[in-house]
Amino acid sequence: MRYILIRILLAASALAPYCAIALDIRLPPETAVFKPSKLPGYMLAQRNCMICHSVHYIQSQPSTSTRDYWEAIVKKMRAPFGAKFADEDIPVIVDYLVKTYGAERNSGTAALNTAGKPEIVVPTATPEPADAKALLAANNCMACHAIDKQIVGPAFRDVVAKYASKANAAALVARNIRDGGSNKWGPVSMPAFGHLSDAEADVLAHYVLSQ
């Protein structure tokens, strides 16, 4: 018995150094994108879903997935995982997902089935006149950013430091906000906010660069 115990201890000690090794894993940049749509859930999905996972996750779901199936997935992201979209956004996101990737792909985009309301074909308008804090809230910017620390995206003060020496800093940041992109601050992609007007993107850029 003692002999067996010693052999077990020796085996465990031999493995111990390997248990402490830290691996540097670098994820490839995001290349998949949500299918463009006039459904209002398209922009909501871009703003919220790509914060935590790849579009490949959506694409890998069964094409026969029903509305109830997609609703269960979206609600799971809201609770318990804590996604930062409002409860009233759930049926809108679900409508886009089921009509774009699920069982209702050929049903058209005339109406929201769950709410019984006509579809809004233009993305939800941001506040006018443009106010920086209202725009930040309307576009859920603070789910990925903070002023002085990195969350998913860079801290605003890191953006300031990167662009401080550029004369056209505000224009560059505004374009990055509208166009989105990847590999600028790490492997996580920033979705495009193309629904913002040039003036709104400029307001946000100047706010970021004022921090």
Summarised one tens digit per residue, pLDDT across range 67-88 is 999 999 898 887 777 777 888 8
pLDDT for the residue 123: 42
Q: What is the dihedral of CA 98, 140, 25, 54, to 10 degrees?
A: 10
pLDDT for the residue 128: 43
Does residue 12 register a pLDDT over 70? no
The total number of structural domains in the chain stands at 2
* 143-192: pLDDT as tens digits: 788 999 988 889 999 999 999 899 899 999 999 998 887 777 877 778 88
**H or E element at residue 112:** strand 111-112
Does residue 93 register a pLDDT over 80? yes
- In contact, 46 and 92? CB cutoff 8 Å: no
136 with 100, same domain: the answer is no
Contacts of 98 by beta carbon, 8 Å cutoff, 6+ apart? 65, 66, 67, 69, 70, 104
Contacts of 13 by beta carbon, 8 Å cutoff, 6+ apart? none
CATH number at residue 63: 1.10.760.10
Question: Is 31 domain-assigned?
Answer: no
58 with 102, same domain: the answer is yes
114 with 65, same domain: the answer is yes
pLDDT for the residue 129: 43
Does residue 63 register a pLDDT over 80? yes
Q: How many CB atoms lie within 10 A of CB 174?
A: 23
Asked which of 118, 151, 167 is the last residue of a domain, the reply is 118
AA letter at 121: V
Question: Is 82 domain-assigned?
Answer: yes
Q: Which domain holds residue 107?
A: 41-118
Query: pTM higher than 0.75, yes or no?
Result: no
Calpha distance 60→4 (Å, rounded): 48
142 with 105, same domain: the answer is no
188 with 149, same domain: the answer is yes
Supply the DSSP symbol for 89.
G
Average predicted confidence (pLDDT) for the chain: 76
SS3 state at 6: helix
